Chains A and B, each alone.
Chain A
Amino acid sequence: QKEVEQDPGPLSVPEGAIVSLNCTYSNSAFQYFMWYRQYSRKGPELLMYTYSSGNKEDGRFTAQVDKSSKYISLFIRDSQPSDSATYLCVINGDYGQNFVFGPGTRLSVLP
């Protein structure tokens, strides 16, 4: 079993839709959870960072962490064509441990 798993997509939605991106992980020791957005031919860009179960909201983006189920989600409200990118979930254990990246989900928001 891979440490971090994501549905690779591609996921296509119409503009204005609510998008749900999901990620599962296997190691219950993971404590820090991040979502990165990566546009084509660019480096990953940090979107959300959290270290506790529950929800964290930032504008149109909401990150949700369920440590009991080892499941994290990213919700995008009122999706825009500019949200079209690959979304990577990234998980870390503790200081000194390496970050583990999911393979990413490719999202297309159609105008």
Chain B
Amino acid sequence: EAGVVQSPRYKIIEKKQPVAFWCNPISGHNTLYWYRQNLGQGPELLIRYENEEAVDDSQLPKDRFSAERLKGVDSTLKIQPAELGDSAVYLCASSKAGNQPQHFGDGTRLSIL
């Protein structure tokens, strides 16, 4: 079974520039999560999808962050404009259902200059 695939692995941009991250979950996994992980901390949820519906986006900074999950499969997370404090690892995870263990991709490491 192929794992969760994320791209790009690394991204370096200047502040105020836009950036996008892409995630392909495990086939058949209906629930998709985007997390942000700062150094030395556990992942923090940004948004959770059940199929194509965002069921929890309460922690997503909606003034600059947006996400979509087309046809309930792949997902894209966007930041526009990026700020220095957005430097972190952005992790995507998927699970068969909302209370099942999640499987993570290797993340996108974002650096803002």
| Chain A residues at the B interface, C-beta cutoff of 8 Å | 4, 8, 32, 34, 36, 41-46, 49, 88, 90, 92, 94-99, 101-104
Taking a contact as CB atoms under 8 Å apart, the answer to whether B109 and A41 are in contact is yes
Residue of B nearest to A36 (CB): B104
B40, B93, B102, B105 interface centre (most CB from chain A within 10 Å): B102
B interface majority secondary structure: loop
Interface size on B, residues (CB 8 A): 23
B45, B99, B107 interface centre (most CB from chain A within 10 Å): B99
Closest CB of chain B to A92's CB: distance in Å? 6
Closest CB of chain A to B31's CB: distance in Å? 10
Closest CB of chain A to B48's CB: distance in Å? 7
- List residues of chain A with CB within 8 A of the CB of B99: 32, 92, 94-97
Taking a contact as CB atoms under 8 Å apart, the answer to whether B98 and A46 are in contact is no
A interface majority secondary structure: loop
Complex Cα–Cα for A92 and B45 (A): 13
Closest CB of chain A to B106's CB: distance in Å? 5
Complex Cα–Cα for A24 and B59 (A): 24
Residue of A nearest to B10 (CB): A41
- List residues of chain B with CB within 8 A of the CB of A32: 99
Residue of B nearest to A99 (CB): B102
- List residues of chain B with CB within 8 A of the CB of A102: 42
Complex Cα–Cα for A44 and B89 (A): 12
Q: A49-B101, A92-B99, A103-B40 given as contacts; is B106 within 8 A of A43 (CB)? A: yes
Taking a contact as CB atoms under 8 Å apart, the answer to whether B44 and A101 are in contact is yes
Q: A43-B106, A44-B104, A45-B104 given as contacts; is B98 within 8 A of A96 (CB)? A: yes
Interface residues in B78-99 (C-beta closer than 8 Å to A):
91, 93, 97-99
Complex Cα–Cα for A102 and B41 (A): 8
- List residues of chain A with CB within 8 A of the CB of B14: none
Residue of A nearest to B92 (CB): A43
Closest CB of chain A to B99's CB: distance in Å? 4
- List residues of chain B with CB within 8 A of the CB of A46: 101-103
